[in-house]
Amino acid sequence: MASAALVGASGFGNWARLAAQQALTQDQLLEFDTFGNVSLIHVTDIHAQLKPIYFREPSINLGVGGNKGEVPHITGAEFRARYGIKDGSPSHYALSSGDFASLAKGYGRVGGLDRVATVINAIRADRPDALLLDGGDTWHGSYTCHHTEGQDMVNVMNALKPDAMTFHWEFTLGSARVNELVESLPYAALGQNIFDAEWDEPAELFKPYEWFERGGAKIAVIGQAFPYMPIANPGWMFPEYSFGIRDEHMQAMVDEVRAQGADLVVCLSHNGFDVDKAMAGKVTGIDVILSGHTHDALPEPVQVGQTFIIASGSNGKFVSRVDLDVRDGRMMGLRHKLIPIFSDVITPDAQIAKLIDDQRAPYEAALREVIGQTESTLYRRGNFNGTWDDLICDALLSERDAQIAMSPGVRWGPSLVPGDDITREDLWNVTSMSYPNAYRTEMTGEFIKIILEDVADNIFNPDPYYQQGGDMVRIGGMAYAIDISKPQGSRISDMTLMSSGEAIDPSKTYTVAGWASVNEGTEGPPIWDVVENHIRKMGTVTVDETNTVKVTGL
């Protein structure tokens, strides 16, 4: 296979060049020379964002081991230099951090499933039998999704007519609800690594793969759900299921579909980018991995051996189109474009727009209620902190009267720009989940260090198979230093209580408030109430960029 030529065929350059012209049109965003005989459309990690939002990409996204300095672990100006993206261009705004607030004013919001629908319809106009594949984290992340237990997203996604889906946060609806929704789906629910926990056998409800005939080619799409579901999320909510990477079973599935005559093998994955890269190096025979979970948006595929990995971003901000030439039982060529959903440029699809509004109608008053205003950009993405999490930690410290606050290092949650109202919808976009209780407890200094060391190893273990794909737990009220090059147990040092300026004493007890505990029976008010009370007291929120984590070992 002519690998180098394949990467060169990426459609990225088309819209990077538009930057210079400063004139973005829908036709330009969609421009694509239809190629080969098969088209894949990939959306992933939508996190229930039906409407256009702002989404700031991270400034800090460190790679370790073999991934140090490799995409997606380069950010900002370095990322733009890597892909030849001009400062101030639409690609700068869509794909990288830097000047976010001012570019957001110029380019506007991104995403919206009614705009995504327009893009999907345009691709289907070129290729009526294009496969639409949803990488999961779809039924989680908003006020309406929480209150309808995922039904709003199922209704809207069904109207987009996907062909297959895999899963992660969906399981936090609880297994009874997940089973109910999955049974209702008119398309394939896939996960070769979703097992029955009791018998350690493939779960009956989730097929490992689905067959499709497209353009004369026999295509197998193999699903790979998030491997660390019961570890990263509360396993007690779905005790019947077991996960794991299970790459031996993945290889067995690839061999099985190849033996049955698959001309093309696609993996619809929620592994996270680095895990997908590692898996592609171990499992042979996968042509394309559509990668989700770590929310990376890459304008070109990354090739590992004979496998091409496509990363399509999050929160409805991007749609990937992948055209493939499949002949004589193999993939002969690939053309790819990461299409950014500029909501002011792409015309919403009227039918989907109405369907979205129908889902929201019963909740419209609550969604629109203004809680406060922000003078700062509020965002979440980044390995160590984000202003949204600083605000949440401040709320925990003051509303729960604690010395130290902990907020989970999740990667979902849209951004707000200075001058924006903070509505209840905005607040729920960064807090909604089925285990929201804000606990208040006591922990020793030693135990706090154990938590930080444990979470740090889930992100900075040099072997991607031991990484869970989240960011570092966010800490309020305490500063610390981290050497990411060290092994677990010796990364964290210089823990300092900010209220007193004193070093954390391992044997002393501190009051700690946090949320999103994976333990059953966690008590406390839901985090959205805690943060809402805090914002109402502040009126207008200003969050300075914090500098409480000193990072070394880069």
Partner 1 sequence: MSITRRDTLALGLGAAALTILPFRLSAATEDAIAAFTGGADVADGGVDLTAPEIAENGNTVPIAVSAEGAAAILVLAAGNPTPGVAEFKFGPLAGSHSASTRIRLAGTQDVVAIAKMADGSFARASKTVKVTIGGCGG
Binding site for partner 1 (CB under 8 A): 168, 197, 200, 226-233, 235, 242-245, 248, 272, 293-295, 408-412, 439-443, 446-447, 450-451, 454-455, 457-458, 465-466, 468-471, 473, 487-489, 516-519, 521-525
Q: Is 5 exposed, middle or buried (0-12, 13-18, 19+ CB in 10 A)?
A: exposed
- Residues facing 133 on adjacent strands: 42, 164
Backbone phi and psi for residue 388, each to the nearest 5 degrees, phi listed first: -60, -45
Residue 258 CA to residue 303 CA, distance in Å, equals 21
CB of 474 to partner 1, least distance (A): 9
Nearer to partner 1, 111 or 292 (CB): 292
For partner 1, the closer CB: 15 or 226: 226
Query: Partners of 331 in the beta sheet?
Result: 326
Whose Cβ is closer to partner 1: residue 89's or residue 548's? Answer: 548
Q: Which is nearer to partner 1, 280 or 443 (CB)?
A: 443
What letter would DSSP give residue 362? G
Residue written as token pair 């505990």: 517
Report in angstroms the alpha-carbon separations of 279 from 291, 314, 337: 11, 21, 23
Nearest alpha carbon to residue 135 among 266, 283, 303? 266
Between residues 398 and 522, which has the closer beta carbon with respect to partner 1? Answer: 522
Q: How far is the CB of 294 from partner 1 (least distance, A)?
A: 6
User: Which residues have a Cβ under 8 Å from the Cβ of 267 and sit 6 or more positions away?
Assistant: 221, 222, 223, 224, 250, 276, 286, 288, 289, 290
Closer to partner 1 by Cβ: residue 336 or 411: 411
Can you tell me the distance from the alpha carbon of 102 to that of 88, in angstroms, rounded to the nearest whole number?
A: 9
Under 8 Å CB-to-CB from 145, ≥6 apart: which residues? 48, 139, 152, 153, 432
- Please say which residue, 126 or 457, places its beta carbon nearer to partner 1: 457
Based on CB atoms, which residue is closest to partner 1, 14 or 441?
441
| CA 551 to mean position of chain CA atoms | 24
Q: Which is nearer to partner 1, 142 or 458 (CB)?
A: 458
Tell me the one-letter amino acid at 508: K
Q: Shortest approach of partner 1 to residue 442 CB, angstroms?
A: 6
Q: How far is the CB of 240 from partner 1 (least distance, A)?
A: 12
User: What is the smallest separation between the CB atom of 5 and partner 1, expressed in angstroms?
Assistant: 34
CA pair distance 505, 478, nearest whole angstrom: 12
CB 534 within 8 A of CB 371: no
Rounded to a whole number of angstroms, the minimum distance from the CB of residue 546 to partner 1 is: 19
* Cβ contacts of 116 within 8 Å, gap of 6 or more: 43, 160, 316, 319, 341
Sheet holding 370-374, edge to edge: 421-423, 370-374, 540-541
Q: Contact 299/83 with Cβ under 8 angstroms?
A: yes
How far apart are CB 118 and partner 1 at their closest, in Å? 28
CB-wise, 8 or 489, nearer to partner 1? 489
To partner 1, the closest distance from the beta carbon of 199 in angstroms equals 10
Dihedral of CA atoms 314, 319, 320, 325 in degrees, nearest 10, equals: 150
Q: Cβ(482)–Cβ(492) under 8 Å? A: yes
Q: In what order do the strands lie in the sheet with 474-476?
A: 439-444, 509-514, 404-407, 474-476
Q: With respect to partner 1, which residue has the nearer C-beta, 29 or 245? A: 245
In the complex, what is the shortest distance from the CB of residue 223 to partner 1, in angstroms, rounded to a whole number? Answer: 18
- Give the Cα separation of 456 and 482 in Å (integer): 9
Torsion angles phi and psi, residue 551, rounded to 5: -110, 130
Q: What is the dihedral of CA 540, 542, 543, 544, to 10 degrees?
A: -170
Decide whether 45 or 420 has the Cβ nearer to partner 1: 45
Q: Collapse the DSSP code of 319 into the 3-class scheme (helix H, G, I; strand E, B; otherwise coil) and give the result.
A: strand
Helix or strand run (H / E) with residue 330: strand 330-340
Task: State the nearest-atom distance from the C-beta of 523 to partner 1, in Å.
Answer: 5
Output 294 or 429, the one with its CB closest to partner 1: 294
> What type of residue is 329?
G
Please report how close the Cβ of residue 449 comes to partner 1 at its closest, in angstroms: 10
Q: Smallest distance from the beta carbon of 235 to partner 1, in angstroms?
A: 6
CB of 97 to partner 1, least distance (A): 18
Closest CA to 510 of 461, 475, 537: 475
